Amino acid sequence: MKKIVPDPPHTFDLPPGKSLSRAISEGVVPIEFALMNVSHYLMFAYSDSRRALERIQEEETRQLLEHGLRAMQIAWGQADAVTLAVEGQK
């Protein structure tokens, strides 16, 4: 089975004092880039957490789980920014 790998995450150079949701709603950051990042970081979160679940007996495993949780936090923040931006456009 072929492994599906999304494009690497995009980085955003936001103007000072501008939130990601505002930058998306103003067109500074394309909404599709943020959505791609959500998908990418959720993939990291699932993958790392799954590996941690399989070997929860050692420090390395705890670190994998921490990385997975961090990726989920990043995805959650970006999803929240997209939601706020889309709601603001309606």
Residue stretches of the chain with pLDDT short of 70? 1-10, 89-90
Answer whether 9's CB lies under 8 Å from 37's CB.
Answer: yes
Place of tokens 């993958």: 47
Q: What is the pLDDT of residue 1?
A: 47
Distance CA 62, CA 53 (A): 9
The pair of three-digit structure tokens given for residue 33, joined into one six-digit string: 């880039």
Q: What is the pLDDT of residue 61?
A: 82
Q: Where are the alpha helices (DSSP H) in 1-90?
A: 20-25, 31-54, 59-89
